[in-house]
Structure 1
């Protein structure tokens, strides 16, 4: 199950995109330090759920970021989600996620957070706001919480943000503004620093403030 969860997390975080080829069984064995049996069990479970598919003699490829059952209802569900739903959910859950990330983040995860915040800094300095970088940073924080349900929640929220037309409209008239773009980066940078320094109360507080500021920017300005 740990191997299954890890590979699934990589798929849902976007490390492996739809159509990408997964590492070979031999490479996965080396990565996880196990024999081929548990690797094959994990891959079989992922294929049965509809996340991956295999090509005879070629390898295993990513098919979807949701299960087959979820794919049937995903579009209708996301279309019913309002921007208010998105912000309300994020305001409630992300401070707790940040707190747990500060408690549990590994050095490898912190290094990845540093890399992503550095990318956001470069984009901000160049006068750009890239939603994908912002979304990836929040997903990486969720992954650092080491709570599979939090990762799933953030995956659904990220999908809703990507597909909800009104959310994109509100986002594009606020965060893309130079003053908000710079403030947005600074807020993210402070959250990552708190996680890196294992300051869980600070990380939760900063994330709460960040979410409240998002609400204020989207609806009060």
Structure 2
């Protein structure tokens, strides 16, 4: 085999790093379909890890359908199937990953808001306003408001009445929720940030209530752009501690 691997660094789980490195080579075609994986001994030497770590990593690849065991012969690469939204664990627990999720949200939320402004009913508006009030109530009660924030945006999406958009949001929900935990934790540390979020939510609701799709799209996109800016302005101490810990949920969200 022409592919060689470097020893891995301490940090995230070693098995995750080994599995990620192997998977990257398989999906890039550098480990081709039908090719035999390096032996366990070879992988131990190249990655600088124990046999237990290698076995766990290979087991993950097998569970993902990326390798097959052949009796008495070893593990062989299978053709990679479609695996939507896979995050490399080495990059997922990072500020950059959170910002990338916010970018995804900006694209989706802007479209959702435009459609909601066109299609919402008075019943929808009652639910949207109730969901908005629930965020304030959660914060006043000492909670982080994450679930309430997620629900607020979901209620707006329901008003868009597009089942394919809803299914997309449902599929992405764990990633979106994990990123929301980071953004809200950062915002909670700064009173001006929290006030800005409230104001942005109110502007969004007003545009949807007015039936103004252009204003609604703009309000949603602005809210997400500002969310990204607030992450960029986070105190280094936040990211070194709480922000990094919360962002690691993005790694678990894919499993």
**TM-score scaled by length of structure 2:** 0.50
The total of aligned residue pairs comes to 145
Alignment CA distance shift 1:104-1:183 (3 Å):
same
- What is the RMSD computed on CA atoms of the aligned residues? 2.6
Alignment correspondent of 2:188: 176
Specify the structure having the higher radius of gyration (Cα). 2
- Contact kept? 1:98, 1:145, Cα under 8 Å: yes
From 116, 119, 124, the equivalent of 2:134 is 119
Q: CA deviation at 1:156?
A: 2.5
From 169, 176, 186, the equivalent of 2:199 is 186
1:213 aligns with 2:226: yes
Alignment CA distance shift 1:188-1:168 (3 Å):
closer
Deviations 1:48-73 (A, max 9, x none): xxxxxxxxxxxxxxxxxxxxxxxx99
From 76, 100, 105, the equivalent of 1:90 is 105
Runs of 4+ in 1 over 4 A off after TM superposition: 76-79, 124-128
Alignment correspondent of 2:251: none
Deviations 1:3-31 (A, max 9, x none): xxxxxxxxxxxxxxxxxxxxxxxxxxxxx
- Contact kept? 1:129, 1:181, Cα under 8 Å: no
Alignment correspondent of 1:158: 173
Secondary structure at the aligned position of 1:174 is classed as helix
Q: CA deviation at 1:91?
A: 1.4
Q: CA deviation at 1:173?
A: 4.2
**TM-score scaled by length of structure 1:** 0.58
